[in-house]
Every structure is written in C-alpha cells, then in structure tokens.
Amino acid sequence: MKNRRGYGWLFILPSFLGVSIFYIIPFIMSLYYTFTQGIAEIKFVWLDNFYDLLQNPTFIMATKNTLFFMLLGVPLLTISALFLSLFMSNKLYTFSRWAILSPIIVPVASALMGWSAIFGGEGVVNTAVNLFGGDPIDFFGEGNARVMLISIFLIKNLGYMVVIFSSSISSLSKEYREAFLLDSRSEIKYAFKIVVPLIMPIIFFVVILSIMNSFQIFREAYGLYGNYPPNSVYLLQHFMNNNFFKLNYQRLSTAAFILILFISVLISVFLKYQNKHLDR
C-alpha cells in the first residue's frame, strides 16, 4: 500500500512542481509587495495598500462591473445549460459533441472577428438596418457593451456546460423515470423532483466552473477594446493589467490578493452548502 502511494506521488510530482514554480511561489512572493511600498527604498506599510486600494474609484468601478457580470452571467449560463440538457435528454436526435463544443475551441481572435462581422459598425446587422432606413446601432459602445460581453460569455460556454449536464443526466438509471411516470405523466415534475436533486453535485460543479470561466472573459474584452474599454465593462483584470504596465506592483499585488481571497471564500461557501445538501 505504501509503495502504491509512493508511485502516486511520483505521478503528480511533475505537475506539482510546475504549479509551484509558476503559480504558488510567485503568488507568495507577490505578498511581499502587498505590504510594502517603494522600489529603491522599500518600507513596510502593513494594511495601507488595502486602504488606498479600497479608496480608488477605478478599482471600485472594476469590482462592481466584475460582480455584476458574474451575478448575471453565471446564473444565466447555469440555468440555460440545465434547461437545454433537460429538454434534449429524451429526444431521438443528438448533437455532435464537436458542434456543441466548437465555441469554446475557436480561438478568441477568430471568434471576435465573427462577432465584429455580425454586430460591427459595417456588420451584417447594421447593413440590414441601413437597408431599411434605420440608424446604425453601436453594439460595442457604452450602452450595449455589457449585453454583448455577456452574450459572448453565454454562447462560448453554453455548449460545454450542456455536455456536462447531459452526461450526468444520461448516467441516471432509467428505472427512476419509469417508476416516477407510473404515478405522474408530467415530464416537468420528473425533471425538477427527480433529476435536478440527483444531479445537484454536478450543478454545484458547473456553477464553480462558470465562476472561473467568467474571469476568462477578459480575453474577449481586451480583444475588443484593449486596455481601456467602456466604463461598463472595465473589469478587475483591466485594472490589474494596467497597473502591471505602469509597474505599480504594490497595487497589482494587493488587488490580486483581494481577488483570490474573494474567490476562495465564494468557492468555500458553495462547497460547504454542497456538503450540507449531500448530507441530507
């Protein structure tokens, strides 16, 4: 048994070393900047960096935008993926996995070219609007930026989440459905009274995965707008990226520490709630 455990550690050692060298150790080193100020003459300031950051209007705006995006995008993605999975679970046809997963596979630059070709100033939609005598719509401007970014997030990740939900639903024993339908012919009641409670751990997993993916939308936002997007879609990643270019490592490290702390607390709450649900 001990030899098997030793072999197990040997298998995970390369990955653990890579994660430690490129992620864990740099993060621990960045904590040094979190509590210091200055470059040539460094002095410890303890919590002053946190106080200054929380008074920064740009950081507050970026935090609000990120929270708004997460609180709206993650539930929409989870509910939409779950609904589609339940709807397609008993259908005679199935979609090819490559077609469902293609939005998340396509490179960001190629995907953004497609979005621009459809919704850009001279895109398909505005061309049609011009033909009917309407004024062009600035889909990527301040007024519509949030809607477009959330739409990109949903379309990119929806197929991936549908595959996860569909796999978990298809793994359920058919006896559950047959036994339930003896008393009720309602497929909706079966879905919400039987299927959803049984796949609740998968739902929690999808929520956590969606939260992680919501932070990756920065690539699309950066590809569309660069370092300084409209105020409505100025995210925490923009704030940290701009401070990196300005060599303001103290503010960058402090913002990263707060972000990681928030994500850790949020995931811990979800996992705790999940464990309570499973213990029932």
Residue 77: CB partners within 8 Å, gap ≥ 6? 153, 154, 157, 158, 161, 210
- For residue 279, the tally of other CB atoms under 10 A from its CB is 6
What percentage of the chain's residues is helix, strand, coil (to nearest 5)?
80, 0, 20
Whole-model pTM: value is: 0.85
Question: Do residues 269 and 100 make contact, with C-beta atoms less than 8 angstroms apart?
Answer: no
Q: How far apart are CA 153 and CA 12, in angstroms?
A: 32
- Residue environment code for 127-143, b if the CB has 16+ CB neighbours within 10 A, otherwise e: eeeeeeeeeeeebbeee
pLDDT value for 263: 86
Q: Measured at the alpha carbon of residue 221, what is the angle toward residues 120 and 54, in degrees to the nearest 5?
A: 140
Closest listed residue to residue 95, CA positions, set 156, 154, 162, 187 = 162
Question: Which domains occur in the chain, in start order?
Answer: 56-279 (1.10.3720.10)
Nearest CA-CA partner of 235 in 95, 70, 105: 70
Per-residue pLDDT of the chain (280 residues; tens, 9 = 90+): 556 666 777 778 888 888 888 888 888 888 888 888 876 677 888 888 899 999 999 999 999 999 999 999 999 999 999 998 888 776 544 555 667 777 888 888 888 999 999 998 888 998 998 888 888 888 998 889 999 999 999 999 998 898 889 888 888 887 777 777 777 777 778 888 888 888 888 898 899 899 989 998 999 999 999 888 999 999 999 999 999 888 888 888 999 888 888 888 888 887 777 776 666 5
C-alpha 123/C-alpha 118 separation (Å) is 5
Cβ within 8 Å of residue 73, ≥6 positions away: 150, 153, 154, 210, 214, 217
| Res 70: pLDDT | 93
Strand partners, 36: 44
Structure tokens at 166: 């569909």
Check residue 180 and give its pLDDT. Answer: 77
pLDDT at residue 93, rounded to an integer: 47
